[in-house]
Structure 1
């Protein structure tokens, strides 16, 4: 088994629908993501409801903080988040302030990287306290897939001795995950392939089987 974790992205604008999907798939996922769409549509009440229903699940509130890192991070942690996301373009000061608040709550910060990130930035984010780096596919074509594979290998070389994890996100399902077999990442984010499935639990288990088979 690869030991890769499965994160369920709830990018759904209705909390009841999101909760139904999460409840159905919960036994096969490791992390529940209060997705950006859900956060924007329902506010941090969605995080509170997810925490109430899943008190023992790892909960990411994916609000993609870009300014006032400490202020927004505090709101998320008070709502029950274990981790919050910050966009890498926001800069070191925003990441640092979010990490300082995360430490108060015993939580963590994930940094979503962007095209053109540098090794120096990664080192600075790690020093600030970032726990996870997110590599996100957008176009999902083969040229981008090759770039993502390169980024994953670069990141692995930079974080392998730090304990920091790497997350792969963006249009992932059973088929697209296999494009990254052999690539070093720790967490796969899957949304609609599970939440829109007729049987979310079966879909999540199938994706977990793929992850377990990966090198």
Structure 2
């Protein structure tokens, strides 16, 4: 079971911005090496990215849990069915958080939430592909997820580069409509990512294409320690801002 639980995290308790390193890699060796650099640079949370889940599965979760027992470990399962079993397997391996898709059936979301309760994990709900992002995020919170992932997908962005798709477009509306912590993911530049806490999304993800090559899914920068150290420092220095109405109600 998880040893560094973030299950009960709320906007009220999330008082300082966090950096999450997304290990969108395809083997455990590179994942461990990259995670060591990220932790040295100041990363707070470690994510087992979907490519790593597919390539190495539970082996990657166990290896990262053993190496980093005090860092929250997020597993990006993108669960669409079999919700309890998938979450249970990752909880047994040491995951602190798992991710279910909003496009999944209500029953699947409910089962992942049940597994989160049983194994002390934070359940993250991903809105990727939803026609109405705000409504989807409200639904996910109503079904019991503890954190919203507002996500503009890799293929969607790459299919329409002329549109400049970014999660920052809908982020303020999603933060205003929900009360659980929100995270924005999808092709953000370093400068854009650092603005997320100021928009009410204080857990900032660095992965592809900033530190992971978005085509080869390998470490993208030979000077990774310097790049990540600067990025982590910028995020940690940012101010978290939630809607004034929510602050008044809290």
Give the TM interval when normalised to the shorter protein: 0.7 to 0.9
1:83 corresponds to 2:107: no
TM-superposed deviation, 1:67: 0.3
Q: Cα offset for 1:150?
A: 3.7
2:223 is equivalent to residue 209 of structure 1 = no
In structure 1, what is the Cα distance between the partners aligned to 2:170 and 2:80?
22
**1:74 matched residue in structure 2:** 88
Residue 61 of structure 1 and its aligned partner are, at CA, apart by: 0.7
Q: Answer yes or no: is 1:155 the counterpart of 2:174.
A: yes
* Conserved? CA contact 2:19–2:232, under 8 Å: yes
Instruction: Return the TM-score normalized by structure 1.
Output: 0.87
**What pairs with 1:63-142 in structure 2 (closer than 5 Å)?**
63-114=77-128, 115-117=130-132, 119-138=134-153, 139=157
Q: Classify 1:173/1:69 alpha carbon distance in 2 versus 1 (closer, same or farther; 3 Å).
A: same
Q: 1:179 to 1:165 in 2, by over 3 A?
A: closer
Alpha-carbon shift at residue 178 of structure 1 (Å) = 5.4
Q: How far is 1:182 from its partner?
A: 4.1
Q: 1:83 & 1:169 partners in 2: Cα distance?
A: 16
Whether the 8 Å contact between 2:21 and 2:206 is mirrored in structure 1 is yes
Distance 2:95 2:32 in 1: 16
Aligned to 1:19: 32
Once the 2 structures are TM-superposed, how far is the Cα of residue 141 of structure 1 from its aligned partner? 5.7
- Unpaired runs of 5+ residues, structure 2, are 1-14, 212-218, 241-250
- 1:7 aligned partner: 20
1:199 is aligned to 223
- TM-score, normalised on structure 2? 0.75
**8 Å CA contact retained: 1:174, 1:210:** no
Runs of 4+ in 1 over 3 A off after TM superposition: 117-124, 140-143, 178-182
Q: 1:83 & 1:191 partners in 2: Cα distance?
A: 17
Question: In angstroms, what is the RMSD of aligned CA positions?
Answer: 2.3
**Conservation of the 8 A alpha-carbon contact between 1:173 and 1:207:** no
How many pairs are equivalent? 209
Pair 141,56 (structure 1): closer, same or farther in 2 beyond 3 Å:
farther
Task: Identify the range of structure 1 (125-134 vs 24-33) with the bigger mean alpha-carbon deviation.
Answer: 125-134
1:144 maps to: 165
Contact 2:196 2:204 in 1 (8 A): no
> Between Structure 1 and Structure 2, which shows a larger proportion of helix residues?
1
C-alpha distance in 2, partners of 1:190/1:44? Answer: 22
